[in-house]
Chain A
């Protein structure tokens, strides 16, 4: 089973909210000082999904990461977790992209990899929360896709995917090759083992530039966008909370109950 997992390096979404700042240009977020970037947590679920398939039936996992200034220690994490290869699509021309230009570049890189049975993506990424790259890659490559996967079983050359729905879940049977996006129900991504970390240290990623994957500059990054970002802002908080006081917490609770009746909330 040959698998490709798309990952990316992002600003740590667990960084304290107070450190979150928008660049004065108003169209990007400033990396918080002193907080190291991380592998997108949603992408880690995709890595975990691929590792679970590898555990069950064996196979080879290639992690694929697009961006500029990718810190090797960060983006090597999938290798430390158990992936076999790492390919970086690293070119400044990828900067400022949207789901379109990103999916296009990833799809072209996957075409170049050539031999794949399943492509995994996170259901979205923690920065722009776009939730489109997986479906976009599938459409560009003409593959069937199953989004929001909670569980994957491979039998008789097909994947049986438990897909999260608003009502519960559904079981979808899909022919291979296919694209699957992983949801958090897939299970906590495993911690890298010491052996994994040592192995990852010794492995050098393959680096591909724009020209290596046959993508024209007009289709990459900001130039290849299909959507325009008009404004990025932090919504204002109202901050009009009425604190209900009391000698003891119990007294305050009683006053709160009375208040909620008074203002007819209850």
Chain B
């Protein structure tokens, strides 16, 4: 049996380009491949994706496997699974990385069970053990109360990585790499779960995951009107508004605004956390923020242990005054 070598990254595409999660994974994968002294390969699966092979190379891949077929336009478990089984059989990687996305979360475990290996989902960090050369997979467990490090003895070692956990390389268009085409060879009748329709979420303004400034509110905001005040601050800072779970459960904010283990993952330059305690569940969605500012009337709130700056006080008094002053300062 051939030896499993190197790192393979499953690349996702978005609007005709590599998705940001995929350039992040190529950046992280490059480092793992260097630590192993082996190759970094990428795999592009989809319809009309062949043209992106050079982009994957520019972001760090040495080799790109391309499976381009109209039947692969939408992600469907029953089509991507056999395709990835085939690609892994040919590429024989030691490590296979996917994004912790609606694709990776569905595909990684199913592929791991098919290949009789193991996957670890939602990793924050991946590293190569200097002695064993095995992949070490670190992920939050118990709702973010703890972290666990896993490894596996079987190959490929499969991991999904959370968005914003890794950093893309500066793309280098002069990099050269090999492109390998693989036929999908799928029988359409084998697809038992078919995508009939895709409905994008309606977002007004800046998307939470893309915003450089995020203002987040917790249970203490109290109602929809309260969130409108946060909206005013976010608008001034060209940012977006998010929330912990209770405001979403109570319908003050849409489900899509939830930040946390069960919601969105953000890593903005500035996160202003208002009237929220900073539960592990919430923090695991925003701990990648560069600077956290906490506004809370409870000086014992956990959020002050996570924040760089804090104001202890009633948000109803702090937020309007902060908004006013910033308006003045930013106008200068």
Contacts A131-B121, A170-B199, A229-B148 hold; do A253 and B141 have CB atoms under 8 A apart? no
Task: List the A residue with the shortest CB-CB distance to B78.
Answer: A144
Q: Is the CB of B293 within 8 A of A260?
A: yes
The yes or no answer to B322 lying at the interface (CB within 8 A) is yes
Contacting residue for B317 out of A103, A184, A253, CB 8 A: A253
Residue of A nearest to B201 (CB): A168
Complex partner residue of A256 from B76, B194, B293, CB under 8 angstroms: B293
Tell me how far the C-beta of B34 lies from the nearest C-beta in chain A, rounded to whole angstroms: 22
- B329 is contacted by which of A178, A246, A257 (Cβ under 8 Å)? A257
Q: Which of B39-47, B50-58, B170-178, B302-310 contacts A (4 or more CB under 8 A)?
A: B302-310
Shortest CB distance A259–B (Å): 6
> Do B105 and A148 touch (CB < 8 A)?
yes
Say whether, besides A146-B193, A232-B146, A257-B329, A242 and B308 are in contact (CB < 8 Å): yes
A235 to chain B, nearest CB (A): 6
A residues 215-266 in Cβ contact with B at 8 Å:
226-235, 237-244, 246, 248-254, 256-261, 265-266
Q: Which residues of A contact B293 (CB under 8 A)?
A: 256, 260, 265
* Across-interface contacts of A127 in B (CB, < 8 A): 141-142
- B281-332 with Cβ < 8 A to chain A: 281, 291, 293-294, 299, 302, 304-314, 317-322, 325-326, 329-330
Which residues from chain B contact A160 at a C-beta distance below 8 Å? 196
Cβ-defined contact, A257 with B322, below 8 A: yes
Report if A241-B304 is in contact (Cβ < 8 Å); known contacts: A184-B262, A253-B319.
yes
Any A CB within 8 A of the CB of B120: yes
**B150 lies within 8 A of A167 (CB):** no
Most chain A Cβ neighbours within 10 Å, of B105, B108, B145, B197: B145
Query: What's the nearest-Cβ distance from chain A to residue B133, in Å?
Result: 15
Bound complex: CA A161 to CA B266 (Å): 28
Q: A249-B318, A258-B325 are in contact. Are A171 and B113 (CB under 8 A)?
A: no
A175 within 8 A of B: yes
Q: Does A55 sit at the interface, judged by CB under 8 A? A: no
CB distance from A75 to the nearest CB of B (A): 20
What residues of chain A lie closer than 8 Å to B141, measured between beta carbons? 127-129, 232
With the chains together, A256 CA to B149 CA distance in Å? 38
Q: Are A20 and B102 in contact (CB under 8 A)?
A: no
Look across to chain A and name the residue whose beta carbon is closest to the beta carbon of B113: A139
- Residues of chain A lying within 8 A (CB to CB) of residue B105: 131, 147-148
Closest B residue to A19 by CB, please name it.
Answer: B145
User: Shortest distance in angstroms between B311's beta carbon and chain A's nearest beta carbon?
Assistant: 5
Q: Is B35 an interface residue (CB 8 A)?
A: no
Once the chains bind, are B152 and A266 in contact (CB under 8 Å)? no
Instruction: Please tell me if the beta carbons of A103 and B325 are within 8 angstroms of each other in the complex.
Output: no
Q: A17-B279, A234-B146, A266-B326 are in contact. Are A260 and B106 (CB under 8 A)?
A: no
Residue of B143, B279, B306 contacting most chain A CB atoms (<10 Å) = B143
**Chain B nearest CB: distance from A252 CB in Å?**
5
| Known interface pairs A185-B255, A229-B150; A132-B142 also in contact (CB < 8 Å) | no
Residues in B149-163 with C-beta less than 8 Å from chain A? 149-154
Using known A-B contacts A100-B118, A145-B77, A241-B294, determine if residue A170 contacts B329 with beta carbons closer than 8 Å. no
Give the shortest distance, in Å, between A96 (CB) and chain B (any CB): 14
Which residues of the partner chain B approach A145 to less than 8 Å between Cβ atoms? Answer: 77, 106, 110, 193
Asked if A241 and B307 sit within 8 Å, CB to CB, the answer is yes
Q: How far is the CA of A235 from the CA of B302 in the complex (A)?
A: 14
Q: Is A265 within 8 A of B196, CB to CB?
A: no
Q: Are B152 and A228 in touch, CB under 8 angstroms? A: yes
- CB <8 Å contact, B279 and A231: no
Contact at B309–A232, with CB atoms within 8 Å?
no
- In the complex, A130 has a CB within 8 A of chain B: yes
Residues A249 and B325 in contact, CB atoms below 8 Å apart: no
Judged by a CB distance under 8 angstroms, whether B167 is at the interface is no
B1 CB within 8 Å of chain A: no
Q: Which 3 A-B pairs have the closest CB atoms?
A: A249-B313, A257-B325, A253-B321
- 7 A-B interface contacts by CB (under 8 A): A103-B113, A129-B121, A136-B112, A146-B77, A185-B255, A249-B311, A260-B293
- Beyond the given pairs A238-B306, A252-B313, 13 more chain A to chain B contacts, judged by CB atoms under 8 angstroms and listed by A's residue number, are A11-B142, A98-B118, A99-B109, A100-B113, A127-B142, A172-B76, A226-B112, A228-B153, A249-B321, A252-B318, A253-B318, A253-B320, A256-B293
Q: Which residues of B are in contact with A by a Cβ distance under 8 Å? A: 74, 76-78, 101-102, 105-106, 108-110, 112-114, 116-122, 136, 139-143, 145-154, 192-201, 213, 237, 249, 255, 261-262, 269-270, 279-281, 291, 293-294, 299, 302, 304-314, 317-322, 325-326, 329-330
